[in-house]
Chains A and B, each alone.
Chain A
Amino acid sequence: MVTITIDGIEYEAREGQTVLDVAKENNIPIPSLCHHEALKPWGACRMCVVELNGKIMASCTLPVAKDQNIKTKSELVKTVRKVVLNLLLARCPHSKTIQQLARLYGITKTTLKADEGRDNCILCNVCTRVCAQLGSSAIATVKRGSEKEIGTPFGEKPPDCIGCLSCARNCPTETIKFEETDAGRIIWNKSFEMAECSICKAKTVLTKEQVVFFAKKSGLPEEYFAKCDECARKETAETFAQLVINPGAHIMKAWGFTFGKLEAKAITASPVLPQKFERS
């Protein structure tokens, strides 16, 4: 444990935490746009900046250290955040997320040249990082500098996209558009069909590509993932019922699980879960 000071108050922090982690735990408001709890710190939006010994640092990438004296409300911090918001508001003047955040800092309209024709992407890279962390890396940034944008390989339908919508659902400015019907989805111009339930043949909430991807990643059979809500619920209920009737048998089968009617082989790979970033 280390003790750090934030705005004059001492806080206990664990080694390996970032200043932003500590601030969040203690309800100290630090705004951030590119930070995502499930992803490695990125340090790009520069909204979470704080002052340390007169220097501006991004709190999301700043590891805690003994006797750190952090200021989150200094004039310099406010100025930098205001400039960042002014710039983002000029980039995407119609983004509700940016408008709301800017209003907190007293900015209602950008004083700079506004880009009216652009979408609301702020290039926080949450979409590309989520996609990479989930294992697809179907999208990435293309070009550089002020021309940088999020794109697919060669601007075509992304071959590796499994239509999981993680990019769109995690986008802080809701810029990534997708269409969803009972039968399928369209995202990044690529159409996806929903997988059929392996039991009742109804449409599931996963795309066919997702089922294949999950099965490959986990080592479990595709049928395990391809289930509609109803069948999945029914199966869970059956499993629970058997647990209550004969708990011993299930504990015995601990790692050789029986799931409903399907016998899965030993789980070799754990399902891909977002791992909390830890600095070594």
Chain B
Amino acid sequence: MRFSNTKDLGTRIESAKAARQKVKRRLLVCAGTGCIANGSLEIADALQKELDARGVKLNVELSLKKTGCHGFCEHGPLVTFHPEEIFYQRVNAKDAAEIVEKTVLKGEVIDRLLYTDPTTKQKVTKYFDIPFYAKQQRVVLANCGQIDPAAIDDYFAVGGYSALKKVLEEKNPEGVISAVEEAGLRGRGGGGFTTGKKWRICRGQTSDKKYLICNGDEGDPGAFMDRSIMEGDPHAVLEGMMIGAYAIGANEGVIYVRHEYPLAVKHLEKAIADARACGILGENILGSNFSFDVSISRGGGAFVCGEETALLNSVMGETGEPRPRPPYPAVEGLWGKPTIINNVETLANVPTIINKGAKWFNGLGFKNSHGTKVFSLVGKVRNTGLVEVPMGATLRDIIFGIGGGILNDRPFKAVQTGGPSGGCIPASALDLPIDYETLTENGSMMGSGGMIVMDDRTCMVDVAKYFIKFLMGESCGKCVPCREGLRQMSYILENITEGKGKPEDIERIRELSVGILNGSLCALGQTAVNPVLSTLKYFENEYHAHIKDHKCPGGVCKPLITYGITDKCTGCTVCARACPVNCISGEKKKLHLIDQKKCTKCGACFSSCRFDAIEVK
């Protein structure tokens, strides 16, 4: 089924769309990495077996598909049934018979497998009635969880490659760049540089060869939006790359995927092979003069290789260390040729911009940030997972609306946005709109969209120490401020959390920060001090509490805390039994006591007490 022109492709897209509409019932099993780890492939097999056993044939009216990630992995494995949009969570292979028997054949809902809204304690049947999904606006993730990522026909059926068709039929490269510029698309990987502007710089370069690289080296701890897109909608990434390559005049593309994403690689490889077979990728795409092919380069798992110049070195087989800029990659990149490096999410936005129009995209968002952004919501919130909201949504919308608020109704303390080198934003900024500039002004950044929520039992000095240590370990070690500065910073923070901090340490941290922030070679070092500076800005009192009073207000830093039992104690003896070093004594139904000399501050008593009688000081 090789298309020799755009018309053939159009016909195919229309027929795939029509075929999809004929499907009356769709049973979808999530086969994203998270759900697979929880056994979703076995569920899919079991469902198939049950269908076979009952003589139910899959046909145009009933389909069983393995889809990409829905983003609500915490509740996986997920099985959904359409068109009723029944949403089953934490499904087991043993549930397969019941699902086929009741839901597929009779259209009944199995209550046991439904999601319970933690706020209202009510069971929710439908996908989009779940607050986690109801308050999202899915543009980039629209196809994730809805189509089979390994089937190119599924992508055609949702209008896939119609943007490429439109571009080849109606637009010249200049027109594509103008559209992307007018849409106001900015890089979703961290920097937030205007994509159209970047493309224009590269287009202006005269060279025999140009490259377009898709940066899939997602390294932020807890972030998995790019992985989900590559796994769940690989053709959208490819289509975005093709349109980008057409615009800048590149004929070779590379997708740089981190080694830890085998499923993403598998799906991308399949997508590339299928697209090649269709004549969508390769020489003279759809009979035009435009030729473009894509290869996959697997990273070795270094955080710094997400930095574009380090990525280039890595692709070239050199040490993954950043290069000094200028020259910028758009002028001198891969193998010394003009190269554009775009993040996965950025590229996945491109087909939508072409399809729905720049105006539509530009209308979404806030001030200079347009479109939507996928965030990876984790930490002390009720609902964790991938959430997509329009730019300009507030942190409160995400954390309390979609996230359902703080776990165990504890008070909200801070949210760390933008990955390890982002900053911590306090409660006072919860109602600020999320856009590139506002986050930066408040000491954090958009980054790749990590969002870690913290409650009152989080120590901000400990948080800063954690991120500095992460970045210290991931620093490539090329330039002095980042390599040596982060190491010294971690010594100082280590001392503070151990109660050995000195009053002058705060000044020392600030001075070091100026050097690291301004002096570092690449963005890793330049932003590495954000967690420290933002916690100092909003939670300086906690630093003083550690240094002067030898107290950890969050109750986290072991050398600075003591556990005690208050008179709320009912003498239930649970804590005494939970204590691994047997340092809690007391008679039944009488107040218990902790032997401070023997206590290892493990917190087992605190977590076991049902009467809130253990206090941390």
Q: Which residues of B contact A43 (CB under 8 A)?
A: 324, 479, 521
Q: Which residues of A contact B486 (CB under 8 A)?
A: 145-146
Bound Cα distance A39, B216 (Å): 33
Minimum distance in angstroms from A92 CB to a CB of chain B: 10
Q: A111-B508, A146-B483 are in contact. Are A84 and B474 (CB under 8 A)?
A: no
Q: Which residues of A contact B327 (CB under 8 A)?
A: 279
Whether the pair B483, A90 counts as a contact (CB closer than 8 A) is no
Minimum distance in angstroms from A91 CB to a CB of chain B: 6
Whether the pair A80, B483 counts as a contact (CB closer than 8 A) is no
**Does A212 touch B at the CB level, under 8 Å?**
no
Q: A80-B518, A87-B488, A113-B491 are in contact. Are A145 and B480 (CB under 8 A)?
A: no
Per-residue contact bits, chain B 468-494, to A (CB 8 Å; 1 contact, 0 not): 000011111111110111111001000
Partner of B519, one of A56, A63, A90, A140: A56
Q: A43-B324, A83-B511, A87-B480 are in contact. Are A146 and B518 (CB under 8 A)?
A: no
Stretch at the interface among A44-52, A169-177, A179-187: A44-52
Whether the pair B521, A87 counts as a contact (CB closer than 8 A) is no
**Does B520 touch A at the CB level, under 8 Å?**
yes
Q: Which residues of A contact B302 (CB under 8 A)?
A: 144
Whether the pair A83, B519 counts as a contact (CB closer than 8 A) is yes
Q: Which residues of A contact B488 (CB under 8 A)?
A: 87, 90, 112-113
Q: Which residues of A contact B521 (CB under 8 A)?
A: 43-44, 46, 58
Bound Cα distance A177, B526 (Å): 35
Q: Which residues of B contact A111 (CB under 8 A)?
A: 508
**Does B316 touch A at the CB level, under 8 Å?**
no
Q: A61-B324, A80-B515, A84-B519 are in contact. Are A91 and B484 (CB under 8 A)?
A: yes
Q: Which residues of B contact A79 (CB under 8 A)?
A: 511, 514-515, 518
Per-residue contact bits, chain B 564-608, to A (CB 8 Å; 1 contact, 0 not): 000000000000000000000000000000000000000000000
**Does B55 touch A at the CB level, under 8 Å?**
no
Whether the pair B476, A144 counts as a contact (CB closer than 8 A) is yes
Minimum distance in angstroms from A33 CB to a CB of chain B: 8
Interface residues in B155-192 (C-beta closer than 8 Å to A): none
Bound Cα distance A145, B487 (Å): 9
Per-residue contact bits, chain B 310-342, to A (CB 8 Å; 1 contact, 0 not): 000000000100001011000010001000000
**Does A100 touch B at the CB level, under 8 Å?**
no
Partner of A46, one of B336, B475, B519: B519
Q: Which residues of B contact A90 (CB under 8 A)?
A: 484, 488
Bound Cα distance A55, B519 (Å): 9
Q: Which residues of A contact B473 (CB under 8 A)?
A: 145
Interface centre among A88, A111, A145, A279 (most CB of B within 10 A): A145
Whether the pair B508, A80 counts as a contact (CB closer than 8 A) is no
Minimum distance in angstroms from B549 CB to a CB of chain A: 24
**Does B451 touch A at the CB level, under 8 Å?**
no
Q: Which residues of A contact B332 (CB under 8 A)?
A: 280
Q: A46-B481, A122-B480 are in contact. Are A144 and B515 (CB under 8 A)?
A: no
Bound Cα distance A279, B473 (Å): 33
Minimum distance in angstroms from B529 CB to a CB of chain A: 11
Minimum distance in angstroms from A144 CB to a CB of chain B: 5
The count of chain B contact residues (Cβ–Cβ below 8 Å) is 35
Partner of A83, one of B474, B491, B514: B514
Bound Cα distance A15, B239 (Å): 40
Interface centre among A82, A125, A147 (most CB of B within 10 A): A147
**Does B512 touch A at the CB level, under 8 Å?**
yes
Interface centre among A44, A113, A140 (most CB of B within 10 A): A44
Bound Cα distance A118, B304 (Å): 26
Whether the pair A83, B515 counts as a contact (CB closer than 8 A) is yes
Main secondary structure, interface of B, reads helix
Partner of A146, one of B479, B487, B508, B519: B487
**Does A166 touch B at the CB level, under 8 Å?**
no
**Does A76 touch B at the CB level, under 8 Å?**
yes
**Does A148 touch B at the CB level, under 8 Å?**
yes
**Does B516 touch A at the CB level, under 8 Å?**
yes
**Does A141 touch B at the CB level, under 8 Å?**
yes
Bound Cα distance A141, B479 (Å): 13
Interface centre among A46, A56, A88 (most CB of B within 10 A): A46
Partner of B480, one of A46, A61, A113, A144: A46
Q: Which residues of A contact B516 (CB under 8 A)?
A: 83
Q: Which residues of A contact B519 (CB under 8 A)?
A: 46, 49, 56, 80, 83-84
Bound Cα distance A279, B520 (Å): 22
Bound Cα distance A80, B514 (Å): 7
Q: Which residues of B contact A146 (CB under 8 A)?
A: 472, 475, 477, 483-484, 486-487
Q: Which residues of B contact A83 (CB under 8 A)?
A: 481, 485, 511-512, 514-516, 519
Partner of A87, one of B475, B476, B485: B485
Minimum distance in angstroms from A138 CB to a CB of chain B: 16
Interface residues in A92-126 (C-beta closer than 8 Å to B): 111-113, 122-123, 125
**Does A41 touch B at the CB level, under 8 Å?**
yes
Chain A residue nearest to B507 (CB atoms) is A111
Interface residues in B489-518 (C-beta closer than 8 Å to A): 491, 508, 511-512, 514-516, 518
Chain A residue nearest to B488 (CB atoms) is A112
Chain A residue nearest to B484 (CB atoms) is A87
Interface centre among B326, B515, B521 (most CB of A within 10 A): B515
Minimum distance in angstroms from A59 CB to a CB of chain B: 11
Minimum distance in angstroms from A150 CB to a CB of chain B: 11
Whether the pair B480, A84 counts as a contact (CB closer than 8 A) is yes
Q: Which residues of A contact B518 (CB under 8 A)?
A: 49, 55-56, 76, 79-80
Bound Cα distance A145, B528 (Å): 13
Whether the pair A147, B477 counts as a contact (CB closer than 8 A) is yes
Q: Which residues of B contact A62 (CB under 8 A)?
A: 326
Per-residue contact bits, chain A 123-148, to B (CB 8 Å; 1 contact, 0 not): 10100000000000000110111111
Bound Cα distance A184, B481 (Å): 40
Q: Which residues of B contact A56 (CB under 8 A)?
A: 518-519
Per-residue contact bits, chain A 62-93, to B (CB 8 Å; 1 contact, 0 not): 11000000000000100110111011101100
Bound Cα distance A52, B491 (Å): 32
Chain B residue nearest to A143 (CB atoms) is B477
Whether the pair A145, B483 counts as a contact (CB closer than 8 A) is yes
Whether the pair A144, B477 counts as a contact (CB closer than 8 A) is yes
Chain B residue nearest to A60 (CB atoms) is B324
Q: Which residues of A contact B474 (CB under 8 A)?
A: 144-145
Bound Cα distance A141, B320 (Å): 11
Minimum distance in angstroms from B42 CB to a CB of chain A: 39
Q: Which residues of B contact A144 (CB under 8 A)?
A: 302, 304, 474-477
Bound Cα distance A63, B521 (Å): 16
Q: Which residues of A contact B479 (CB under 8 A)?
A: 43-46
Q: Which residues of A contact B480 (CB under 8 A)?
A: 44-47, 84, 87-88, 122-123
Minimum distance in angstroms from A78 CB to a CB of chain B: 11
What are 8 A-B contacts defined by CB distance under 8 Å? A82-B515, A83-B511, A87-B515, A123-B478, A123-B480, A141-B319, A144-B475, A145-B474
20 more contacts with CB within 8 A, not counting A49-B519, A144-B474, A148-B477, are A41-B324, A45-B479, A46-B519, A56-B518, A56-B519, A79-B514, A79-B515, A79-B518, A83-B516, A84-B481, A87-B484, A87-B515, A88-B484, A111-B508, A112-B491, A112-B508, A145-B477, A146-B472, A146-B483, A146-B487
Which 7 pairs, one residue from A and one from B, show the smallest C-beta to C-beta distance? A83-B515, A148-B477, A61-B324, A43-B324, A87-B484, A56-B518, A145-B475
